[in-house]
Every structure is written in structure tokens, then in C-alpha cells.
């Protein structure tokens, strides 16, 4: 598995989120309840057999099986994550399943070297990444024209369901470094993917968003 060296600032950021280090082994159990949304999210990507899909902030690889169903043996799943502990769990999953078409990269999405002409990019439960202009620019610039992106996760519930927000906070606090933008987590992605279609789910405490990259930034 190719792995890059992490900068000290990234290590510091990770240390602030023990859910990605000492608790990585229990991440799957804690987040199992969201499997249905995970499937809905992956279904928003018009993946064809043989495609290359980037799983941005892939964590323990909970989306890999759903992506494998769609890309087939001839496709490729590229999982990028900056947490070595989350990636260790992902690597075990890949080995157990015998998937030889998954590439795991330990790096910050902001400065990872990505394959040009990627067909699709998936952002599942990666609020911090969606708030990072550098990360979004790097990903969107590597998706081919006509390729697709999909993003989904938690958000603050709207005013009519505001009572949900104590639960929303408790649920997401272990996994979110900064709640800035949590009312519209997809906003910066929408700036880069015109026409991004957004649907709120879970009484407004979650969202699913998808769209097509019109012109690859590399082709401009």
C-alpha cells in the first residue's frame, strides 16, 4: 500500500479526533446504522463497470463493498485518508475480501497526488474535507468532464426540527473537527459543481448531494 509522510500539523489535527486513532477499530460498529444512507449515496454515482472511483476520506473502507459491486473487477477504487489507524482497518478489509483493485493512499486530500481522469468522487461523512477549498479543488480538478461527485452526511436540522440538534451534535462530535458550515455542508462543493442536486434526509439532519463535473479544470 503506498503511504506518504504526514505533516506535523496533520498529525496534530488527527490527535484531536481520537475516533480516528485509538477508536478506529470500533468505528464500523458505531456507524453501522447509516448503512442505508451510504447505499443511497453510492447509488447517486452513475458508475459503470471498469470506472475509477475516488473514495475521499475513505476511513475504514465502509463504502468499498458498495463501490466494488459497481466498478467490478476491471474497475478501481482509490481510497485516500490521512489516518493510519483508519487505513489499517481498511487494508484488513481489502485483504479479507481479496480485492486487488483497491489502492489505499495515506495522505491529506489537500495535497495528495490523484490520478487524472478519475470518473467519480465520493465524499461520505467527510465534513472537514468538504470545508477545505484546497481539498475540493484537488479532487474536482482530477475528475474528468462528465464525471460525477456525490456527497452525504450529517448536518444541523432545520428550525422546525431543531430539537434533534443535541443528538446531531453528540453523534457527529467525535468525527468533526470544526462544525463551521454544518448547516449546508455541500456549499463549497456546489460552488465547484454547478447544478449540484441536494436532498435533505433524516428530517433535515442529513443530506445527499450529487452532480456532474461539467469541464474538468485540467481541460480548461
Identity of the residue, 86 or 104, whose beta carbon is nearer to ligand SAM in the bound complex? 86
Task: Convert residues 2-21 into a mask of x (bound to ligand SAM by CB under 6 A) and - (unbound).
Answer: ------------------x-
Q: Are the beta carbons of 155 and 130 closer than 8 angstroms?
A: no
Q: Which three cell numbers stand for residue 208?
A: 445527499
Under rule CB under 6 A, residue 105 binds ligand SAM: no
CA pair distance 157, 127, nearest whole angstrom: 15
Contact 67, 53 (CB under 8 A): yes
* Structure-block grid coordinates of residue 189: 462543493
First-residue to last-residue Cα distance in the chain: 33
Question: Which of residues 79 and 147 has its CB atom nearest to ligand SAM in the complex?
Answer: 79
C-alpha cell at 41: 449515496
The C-alpha atoms of residue 107 and residue 22 are separated, in whole angstroms, by 18
Contact present, 81 and 59 (Cβ < 8 Å): yes
By C-alpha distance, which of 207, 206, 205, 51 is closest to 197? 207
Cβ-based nearer residue to ligand SAM, 26 or 215: 26
Q: How far is CA 3 from CA 162, 169, 220, in A?
A: 42, 32, 31
| From 124, 136, 193, 209, residue interacting with ligand SAM (rule: CB under 6 A) | 124
Residue 59 is a binding residue for ligand SAM (CB under 6 A): yes
The residue number whose beta carbon is nearest to ligand SAM equals 59
Restricting to residues 139-168, which ones interact with ligand SAM according to CB under 6 A? Answer: none
Q: Identify residues 62-91 at the interface with ligand SAM (CB under 6 A).
A: 62-63, 80-83, 86
The piece of 52-60, 69-77, 136-144, 208-216 that touches ligand SAM (CB under 6 A) is 52-60
| Whole-angstrom distance, CA of residue 97 vs CA of residue 110 | 29
**Residue 40 or 145 having the CB closest to ligand SAM:** 40
**Minimum distance between the CB of residue 28 and ligand SAM, rounded to whole angstroms?**
8
Please say which residue, 38 or 119, places its beta carbon nearer to ligand SAM: 38
Site for ligand SAM in 173-202 (CB under 6 A): 175
User: CB of 164 within 8 A of CB of 203?
Assistant: yes
Question: Minimum distance between the CB of residue 159 and ligand SAM, rounded to whole angstroms?
Answer: 26
Pairwise CA distance, residues 168 & 171, whole Å: 5
Residue choice 108, 143, 205, 208 for contact with ligand SAM (CB under 6 A): 108
**Residues in touch with ligand SAM (CB under 6 A):** 20, 31, 57-59, 62-63, 80-83, 86, 108-110, 124-126, 128-129, 132, 135, 175
Amino acid at each position: 500500500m503506498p503511504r506518504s509522510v504526514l505533516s506535523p500539523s496533520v498529525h496534530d489535527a488527527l490527535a484531536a479526533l481520537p475516533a480516528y486513532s485509538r477508536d478506529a477499530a470500533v468505528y464500523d460498529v458505531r456507524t453501522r446504522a447509516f448503512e442505508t444512507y451510504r447505499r443511497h449515496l453510492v447509488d447517486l454515482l452513475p458508475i459503470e463497470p471498469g470506472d475509477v472511483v475516488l473514495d475521499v476520506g475513505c476511513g475504514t473502507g465502509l463504502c468499498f463493498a458498495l463501490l466494488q459491486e459497481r466498478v467490478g473487477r476491471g474497475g478501481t477504487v482509490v481510497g485516500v485518508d490521512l489516518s493510519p489507524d483508519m487505513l489499517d482497518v481498511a487494508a484488513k478489509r481489502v485483504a479479507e475480501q481479496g480485492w486487488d483493485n483497491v489502492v489505499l493512499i495515506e495522505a491529506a486530500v489537500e495535497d495528495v497526488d490523484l490520478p487524472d481522469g478519475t470518473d467519480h468522487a465520493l465524499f461520505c461523512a467527510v465534513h472537514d474535507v468538504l470545508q477545505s477549498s484546497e481539498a475540493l479543488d484537488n479532487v474536482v480538478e482530477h475528475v474528468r468532464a462528465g464525471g460525477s461527485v456525490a456527497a452525504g452526511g450529517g448536518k444541523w436540522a432545520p428550525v422546525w426540527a431543531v430539537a434533534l440538534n443535541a443528538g446531531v451534535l453528540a453523534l457527529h462530535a467525535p468525527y468533526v473537527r470544526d462544525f463551521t458550515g454544518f448547516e449546508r455542508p455541500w456549499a463549497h462543493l456546489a460552488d465547484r459543481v454547478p447544478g449540484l442536486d441536494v436532498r435533505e434526509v433524516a428530517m433535515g439532519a442529513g443530506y445527499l448531494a450529487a452532480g456532474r463535473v461539467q469541464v474538468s479544470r485540467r481541460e480548461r
